[in-house]
Amino acid sequence: MDHFTLQDGVLHAEQVALSLIADAVGTPVYVYSRATLERHAQVFKQALGALDNPLIAYALKSNPNLAVVRVLRQQGFGADVVSGGEMQRALMAGIAAEDIVFSGVGKTAREMADGVAAGIGQFNIESEEEGFELAAVAESMGKRANASLRVNPDVDAGTHEKISTGKAENKFGVPIHRAGEIFANLANKPGLNLRGVAVHIGSQLSDLAPMETAFAKLGTLIAGLRGAGHAISHADLGGGLGVPYKAGEIMPSPADYGAMVARVTKGWDVRLIFEPGRVISGNAGVLLTRVVRVKRGGNGDPFVIVDAAMNDLARPALYGAWHDFVAVAPSGERMTANVVGPICETGDTFAMGRDIDALEAGDLAIFRTAGAYGATMASSYNSRGFVPEVMVDGDRWAVVAERIEPAAILAAEKVPDWLE
């Protein structure tokens, strides 16, 4: 459920007409709904209501905007971060260091040291090599880093190959059949407080069964590690719950997910950690765009050329992803069209031969479900700037990220004097 609805024939974010935001800020622009973020956070918390004090560490990478993270902090969420930059953002948004989990296969020594110095709650170690390095970094600082070992359960999450992370051939985690041995090699390091295990098998999962398989394997591993004398107090189940991108698409509900987790983890006797991203932020944002012109098409269908492009919203170009596309002020007429951006690449295509609201040059439209992996994946390809972000709260709204003009990006470039 979201708060982007038609009111008096015009799409609103909560109580603010999207046309008003477009006129004030220009297009393209990302628009987030605070009420939607809060609702998703509450639904997720309720879904885990049967568990004892879980830590919900919002995956910043889905939408790291400071205002978004602040809303989720107010909901009691921690943060899952995957870089020093994300850690900085989480801390700046006011998330307590102990509620931050640091994931990622390529943490640098510098990032580890910064995390240890900040006192973050947990590092998720993704390889034996990384574990040794983290131990050395923490020991050299006279500290012990809390850590869990991320395992790769070799489960096919059934999602797009580029966002599948739990198959043996993926780069994430240590092979689950070697986890016992690697855990033992790391557990006695003075720089580490190795206290748990972690798993995250992929994103946009439309089926709970692969997650259940992975969690069950984790349960077996926990029992084995305890049998070998290790103390296990934490288990991190990652994120990955899918969201509907097409009207009418059915995804597993957070409640079903929570019930499955409660069933599978019964008796584990650990603090559970969750890292939801998309399920919180995805439907809380739209990308608002204006039609530049409508061009007669070669194959019969016209091209609706919008001012948003693959550099602003990369998912269609990256994953062939679908985003519902609707007019801000629909006339009731329909058309079949190809929806494309202005970038000089055929990949800059949002939809082909799609039945959409009839649109003309100058009309406004939105790509729905753009709150996750939207603005954060933007680039300045074709020397376009970075799109601004707006948050709506009831009848008020604010720019929460300024537009970055091409000139500002250009200012960082220099021609060496030997080219003068």
The nearer residue to ligand PLP, 103 or 148, going by C-beta atoms, is 103
Q: Is the Cβ of residue 254 or residue 330 nearer to ligand PLP in the bound state? A: 254
Q: Which of 27, 36, 83, 103 binds ligand PLP (CB under 6 A)?
A: 103
Residue 251 or residue 356: which is nearer to ligand PLP going by CB? 251
Q: Which of 95, 67, 71 is nearest to 81 (CA)?
A: 95
Selected range binding ligand PLP among 92-100, 234-242, 378-386, 400-408, rule: CB under 6 A: 234-242
Find the shortest distance in angstroms from Cβ 163 to ligand PLP.
7
62 counts as binding ligand PLP under rule CB under 6 A: yes
Instruction: Work out how close the CB of 276 gets to ligand PLP at its nearest, in angstroms, rounded to a whole number.
Output: 5
Task: Tell me if 59 contacts ligand PLP by CB under 6 A.
Answer: yes
Residue 239 found at the interface with ligand PLP (CB under 6 A): yes
Q: Given the DSSP bridges, would you call strands 303-306 and 285-295 parallel, antiparallel or unpaired?
A: antiparallel
Check binding of 115 to ligand PLP (CB under 6 A). no
Q: Does 200 bind ligand PLP (CB under 6 A)?
A: yes
Catalytic: which of 1, 247, 344, 412? 344
Element (H, E) at 146: strand 145-152
User: Would you give the DSSP letter of residue 387?
Assistant: P
Distance of CA 139 to the CA centre of its chain: 32
User: Residue 283, interface with ligand PLP (CB under 6 A)?
Assistant: no
Considering the rule CB under 6 A, would residue 203 count as an interface residue with ligand PLP?
yes
Residue 112 main-chain phi, psi, to 5 deg: -60, -45
Stretch that binds ligand PLP, among 68-76, 85-93, 239-247, 330-338 (CB under 6 A): 239-247
Comparison of 27 and 33: residue with beta carbon closer to ligand PLP: 33
Q: Exposure string (b/e) for 382-408, b if CB count within 10 Å is 16 or more?
A: eebbbbbbbbbbeeebeebbeeeeeee
- Least distance in angstroms from the C-beta of 74 to ligand PLP: 20
N- to C-terminal Cα separation, the chain: 57
Question: What letter does residue 413 receive in the DSSP assignment?
Answer: -
If we measure between CA atoms, which residue out of 202, 208, 261, 203 comes closest to residue 235? 261
CA distance 351 to 373: 18
Least distance from ligand PLP to the Cβ atom of residue 100, Å: 13
Rg (CA), the chain: 23
Comparison of 59 and 100: residue with beta carbon closer to ligand PLP = 59
207 close to 158: Cβ distance less than 8 angstroms: yes
For CA atoms 121, 127, 128, 130, the dihedral sign is: negative
**For residues 282 and 284, what is the distance between their CA atoms, to the nearest angstrom?**
5
How far apart are alpha carbons 410 and 23 in whole angstroms? 26
Q: Which of 121, 277, 341, 388 binds ligand PLP (CB under 6 A)?
A: 277
Closest to 277 (Cα-Cα) out of 84, 103, 31: 103
Residues 369 and 323: beta-carbon distance below 8 Å: yes
Asked if 148 interacts with ligand PLP (CB under 6 A), we say no
Q: Is 254 a catalytic residue?
A: no
The Cα 42–Cα 254 span in angstroms is 10
Q: Shortest approach of ligand PLP to residue 202 CB, angstroms?
A: 7
Residues 63-92 that bind ligand PLP (CB under 6 A): 80
Nearer to ligand PLP, 211 or 391 (CB): 211
Judged by CB under 6 A, the residue of 28, 166, 219, 240 near ligand PLP is 240
Pick the closer one to ligand PLP by CB: 80 or 363: 80
Among 28, 276, 371, 385, which residue interacts with ligand PLP (rule: CB under 6 A)?
276
Chain-centre distance of CA 196, in angstroms? 23
Binding region for ligand PLP (CB under 6 A) out of 33-41, 54-62, 91-99, 206-214: 54-62
Binding to ligand PLP, residues 358-377 (CB under 6 A): 372
Report yes or no: 235 and 268 within 8 Å, Cβ to Cβ.
yes
Distance CA 81, CA 61 (A): 7
Q: Is 341 in the site for ligand PLP (CB under 6 A)?
A: no
Instruction: Verify binding: residue 61, ligand PLP, rule CB under 6 A.
Output: yes
Complex with ligand PLP: residue 3 or 200, whichever CB lies closer: 200
* Distance of closest approach, residue 57 Cβ to ligand PLP, in angstroms: 8
Helix, strand or coil, per DSSP, at residue 367: strand
As measured in angstroms, the least distance from the Cβ of 58 to ligand PLP is 9
Q: Is 133 exposed, middle or buried (0-12, 13-18, 19+ CB in 10 A)?
A: middle
Question: What residues are labeled active site?
Answer: 344
Which residues are at the interface with ligand PLP (CB under 6 A)? 59, 61-62, 80, 103, 200, 203, 238-241, 275-279, 372
